[in-house]
Amino acid sequence: AQKVTQAQTEISVVEKEDVTLDCVYETRDTTYYLFWYKQPPSGELVFLIRRNSFDEQNEISGRYSWNFQKSTSSFNFTITASQVVDSAVYFCALRNQAGTALIFGKGTTLSVSS
């Protein structure tokens, strides 16, 4: 069975704090892909990053970084020096090699206050 767990329902931070959003996944496939999407208050889903199961290199893009650890089935997302505009719901998603569906976690609501 495939499953994505985002244990943190809501996180509140003050601007300039670093924050890490956790994502744990379950799959029996050896080849799979992980994604992060952002859903701002306006409601659209914005693609942020993709990671392949065979590539465990961490990635940094500006203030965003992602830590993929196959050993713990985790794909965590860190925002450094958070800003008010980072306030959104963040979804982690999994897709197996064979299927077409994205399996989403329940999302983490991040609130950044000034």
Partner 1 sequence: EPEVTQTPSHQVTQMGQEVILRCVPISNHLYFYWYRQILGQKVEFLVSFYNNEISEKSEIFDDQFSVERPDGSNFTLKIRSTKLEDSAMYFCASSEFVQANQPQHFGDGTRLSIL
With contact defined as beta carbons under 8 Å apart, do 23 and 74 qualify?
yes
**Beta strand pairing status for 74-79 and 19-21?**
antiparallel
The reply to whether 11 sits near partner 1 by the rule CB under 8 A is: no
With contact defined as beta carbons under 8 Å apart, do 111 and 64 qualify?
no
One residue of 12, 20, 52, 113 binding partner 1 per CB under 8 A? 52
Longest dimension (CA), the chain: 44
Min CB(104)–partner 1 separation in Å: 4
The reply to whether 1 sits near partner 1 by the rule CB under 8 A is: no
The reply to whether 20 sits near partner 1 by the rule CB under 8 A is: no
Which residues contact partner 1 by CB under 8 A? 31-33, 35, 37, 42-47, 50, 52, 91, 93, 95-107
